[in-house]
Amino acid sequence: MAFPQSRPRRLRRTAALRALCRETILTPDDLVWPLFVEPGQGVRRPISAMPGQFRMSPDEAAKAAREAWDLGIQAVILFGIPPHKDAVGSAAYDRDGVVPQAIRRIRDAAPEMCVITDVCLCEYTDHGHCGLVDKGVVLNDATLELLAKEAVAHVKAGATMVAPSDMMDGRVAAIRDALDDEGYEDVAIMAYSAKYASAYYGPFREAAESTPAFGDRRAYQMDPPNALEALREVTLDEEEGADIIMVKPAGPYLDIVHMVRELTDLPVAAYQVSGEYSMIHAAGERGWVDLERVMMESLVGIKRAGADMILTYFAPEAARLLGRR
């Protein structure tokens, strides 16, 4: 039937009708809040390029996680900024490093929180690359062992799930083997499978002081124009034992989120990265857009594209709004 019999506007007349017909529902259950952890106590340092986000010591991170839990957020992902960086990222696999300390504190403050950890070397290396470097090249196979050690250190401290973001080939299998060897066959891996070499990571690198000292990450992260390659990455990670597949960034890559959703039966995560967050904030602060509405629209768009869960710095704000309704 066509107009005038068909009138889609009939179902948009009232808020109750719109609610009844809504196809995509965002809830705090969908959200994962990224936290930056640095050494010390009582530290809560604002990140200038990410308004409303902080670098926190383990005790403060635990407080923040508890507040998030009380808003309905059931998952956080941790990034560590170590006291010392070196060529091999030693602090990444220190069993008493900042991330293990934060995991233990969060476990106490919010015992049922899903604590995910980012597994990568770039926050811990003095050159800022995601793996070992030899003559300007990031070594793939030699890096795998260190990533596996890092994952084991996090899980020993109580992490619920590990999320490798390094983009080395074979890292999911290496981490899976290492975890299984230690008896952690029940600990899941969320793979950053389709992770693009994106300019949208700019504010994060300021927060984590992880800008590469030379070159860039294009020799290991994906080339933004590619989509089929993302499907190959997803298939490989599935074969290696990934439990959740991630696409990153989210907003500029919704086609990839959708394609990955069609390809895999595993849960799909999308990471709304620092640059996406900061740009929305900046426009909101200038009064050019309505911050709250653009925030919610960006998140529901990511879910509508096919994401089961969204990693986002907006998590507490969005949860607060969703709770109000």
Q: How far is CA 190 from CA 64, 231, 234, 266, in A?
A: 23, 16, 11, 10
Stretch that binds ligand PBG, among 1-9, 22-30, 199-207, 290-298 (CB under 6 A): 199-207
Query: Which residues is 174 bridged to in the sheet?
Result: none
DSSP codes, 167-186: --TTHHHHHHHHHHHTT-TT
Radius of gyration of the chain (CA): 20
Name the helix (H) or strand (E) containing 152.
helix 141-156
In angstroms, give the least distance from the CB of 46 to ligand PBG: 16
By DSSP bridging, strand 54-56 and strand 244-248 are: unpaired
By C-beta, is 124 or 313 nearer to Zn ion? 124
Which of Zn ion, ligand PBG, none has residue 274 at its interface (CB below 5 to 8 Å by kind)?
ligand PBG
Residue 156 appears among annotated catalytic residues: no
Residue 63 appears among annotated catalytic residues: no
Q: Which of 33, 124, 196, 201 binds ligand PBG (CB under 6 A)?
A: 201
Binding footprint of Zn ion on the chain (CB under 5 A): 120, 122, 130
Binding mask 101-140 for ligand PBG (x = CB under 6 A): -----------------x-x-x-------x----------
Q: Which of 205, 258, 304, 320 binds ligand PBG (CB under 6 A)?
A: 205
273 binds ligand PBG (CB under 6 A): yes
Cα(284)–Cα(292) distance, rounded to whole angstroms?
8
DSSP codes, 121-146: STTTBTT--SS-EETTEE-SHHHHHH
In angstroms, give the least distance from the CB of 98 to Zn ion: 16
204 binds ligand PBG (CB under 6 A): yes
- Look up residue 10 and give its amino acid: R
By DSSP bridging, strand 137-138 and strand 133-134 are: antiparallel
314 binds ligand PBG (CB under 6 A): no
By C-beta, is 217 or 261 nearer to ligand PBG? 217
Neighbours of 252 (CB within 10 A): 15
Active site residues: 195, 248
The residues binding ligand PBG (CB under 6 A) are 118, 120, 122, 130, 165, 201, 204-205, 217, 273-274
